[in-house]
Structure 1
Amino acid sequence: MLAAIRSMLFLLIFYGGSTPIIILSFIVAVFSESGTHFMAKVWSGYHYFCARFILGIRVEVKGEIRNEPLLYVFKHESMFETIDLLRLFDKPVVIAKKELLVIPLWGWIAKRHGLLGIDRNGGGAAMRQIIKQAKGAVADGRPIVIFAEGSRARHGERPELQTGFAGIYKLMGLPLVPVALNSGIVSPRDTFIQKSGVITYAVQDEIEPGLEREDIRHRVHTAINVLND
């Protein structure tokens, strides 16, 4: 019952407070790209503040998250990490489903920040466009982030990686850093009720570019699931 009350309070305060932040972010984004990045950190920081002091959720990072041109592949168990990564990184470029870009106001701001919407049914042309945009971001020294499972998994589940992930790895030619996490324990996908506890990000060893598709798929799949054991 206490967790449900806390979760309702979190929804009211976080989403209520997000509305003026997003409106201000839109105004800032019209005039300044760097301002858009700053406001993204403000929003993510506000999210973590609410999670920390309303829900009792803390974050622990094991390993180093580097703001360099690297391809980061995250385990995906909750909405929590999709917002929190804006706080963990400096100007990350996130590759996600294109449907997110049609969210009123937020979608435009996200695109301005650097979110790359991929059409999963768009074939090679869609992939080439994403790679072109991603390489432009890498030239600016920005990290690339992808949730290779495609959608949230329950904690303990090990869904296969999306087929496009290996293509992005191959065409980008970047070192890859897998990140395991266990957010599904405190913030499960099937309910709005969130529990207090610690979310761990376990940054795994960097993987060199140039591996074959099956090799990279196996290594990343194993690495992002180490906290599911």
Structure 2
Amino acid sequence: MFKQLILILRSALFYVGYVLATIVMSFIFILLFPLMPPRRRHGFAAAWCKSILGWLRLSCGVNYEITGTDNLLEQPAVYLSNHQSSWETLLFYTLIFPISPILKMELLKIPFWGWALRLLKPIAIDRSKPREAARSLLLQGEQRLKEGNSI
């Protein structure tokens, strides 16, 4: 029971830090991103993701090992993952530069965070309309690859 209480407290500590950091960084991103070139925006986003992963390690003890990074390409490419949580999205931003993740359109409507995310030019799709989403994914995906972003 004591271990479970510690886990709950560590999780709560993580989320408090995560939410506070996200609010602060969203304001900074919204103010600075319009003044920055896209690659610099992605650099800031990668640094934020790295800091959140570090906070997760510190507050909750989450460790991981990455193998096969030598298979990541230097030129833009399409990478696929079996999406389990937001953790791999944070990790992708630290491994693949620059990247435009595919996400549901609703995420861009979240106050502050979604507005900042929009400035990174993700590929937003409407999952309620699968055919339109597929067409949109192909069009936006081709455009992002031409812009030099991986997907």
User: TM-score, normalised to structure 1's length?
Assistant: 0.58
- Deviation for aligned residue 1:8: 1.1
Change (3 A) 1:15 1:125: closer
> Which consecutive unaligned segments of at least 5 residues does structure 1 have?
145-229
Aligned pairs, number:
144
Amino acid at match of 1:85: F
Aligned-pair CA distance for 1:125? 3.8
In the alignment, which of 37, 45, 54 is matched to residue 40 of structure 1? 45
Is contact 1:28-1:35 (8 Å) kept?
A: no
Q: Does 1:139 align with 2:139?
A: no
Matched ranges for 1:7-156 at <5 A: 7-32=11-36, 33-64=38-69, 65-144=72-151
| 1:165 counterpart residue number | none
**Identity over the aligned pairs, expressed in percent?**
25
TM-score with structure 2 setting the length? 0.84
Question: Which residue does the alignment assign to 1:218?
Answer: none
Q: Per-residue CA shift, 1:135-171, capped at 9, x if unaligned?
A: 1111133211xxxxxxxxxxxxxxxxxxxxxxxxxxx
Q: Secondary structure at the match of 2:64?
A: strand
Structure 1 residue 47, shift from structure 2 partner: 0.5
What is the CA-CA distance between 1:90 and the residue it aligns to?
Answer: 0.9
Structure number with higher helix proportion: 2
In 2, Cα distance between the equivalents of 1:128 and 1:143?
Answer: 18
Q: Which residue of 2 aligns with 1:201?
A: none
Q: Which runs of 5+ in 2 are unaligned?
A: none
User: Would you say the 8 A contact 1:14–1:47 is kept in 2?
Assistant: yes
CA contact (8 A) 2:22 2:113 kept: no
Rounded Cα–Cα distance in structure 1 between residues aligned with 2:67 and 2:112:
35
1 CA distance for matches of 2:22 and 2:45? Answer: 11
Aligned residues: CA RMSD: 1.8
Q: 1:24: Cα distance to partner?
A: 0.5
Structure 1 Cα separation of the partners of residues 84 and 132 of structure 2? 29
Change (3 A) 1:30 1:135: same
1:58 partner SS: coil
User: For residues 59 and 15 of structure 1, what CA distance do their matches in structure 2 show?
Assistant: 22
